[in-house]
Structure 1
């Protein structure tokens, strides 16, 4: 199922849970009252979500999240509009895949690592040592177009 956690592994003691209910209960157990399990899962999911989506895709997804919450709050859980919003959110998750490592400490959840086969990050593209398909001259047109609204001339 899209958007579902598939595994939780405790690197300290080797405990591993793969069943959705078991991993949720396990996070509840280790988190006690200081560390809400929903926050653990949400933090990890949002991190891999951001790591595998482009900025515009992510902005639309965040707007849909808010819209969905509003629809449910107003009692439209089973309405056609809510079904459509749910479908859009699920569709946005089809390319979200990866592993997030978090550290739980005194009620906080900190992301300490992530990896994804679908990551948008490319070390080669951001390297100053490797000439890829990007030509810095291309930025001139982009800067000029964005500067038009300010009446700035860039010659």
Structure 2
């Protein structure tokens, strides 16, 4: 996915990395509307879900969806998430998260999106994002219709 943003240049995305709890899921369950959007998004980007899996539900919940699940077994998770984004080539990654442990990956990514959602978002993560969205479905919609990204990011 290549997006030309006036006065910013080209943004090329090859992958999307999502935090799970508080971002894609609430209480371990996918937010309504996420499943269909992930399926549509997988047609243009590789999708990864990276999580400490607080509720132990991520593999079961995402089974059958076109996503790769990465369960972290290290604390703190923030540096591990950042390292994962770098392993994909950070500049071609759109990263989504809300917690303090997502701040580093949003800062490293070519596009960092903080999701406010029902849990809210850590201030540090908000400051490291390129875009803030009210819900994850609105965030994914930015990638499904890149004109929205242009409208938000143009100077």
TM-score of the two chains, using structure 1 as the length reference: 0.25
Which of the pair is proportionally richer in helix? 1
More relative contact order in 1 or in 2 (CA 8 Å, sep 6+)? 2
TM-score of the two chains, using structure 2 as the length reference: 0.25
Which of the pair is proportionally richer in strand? 2
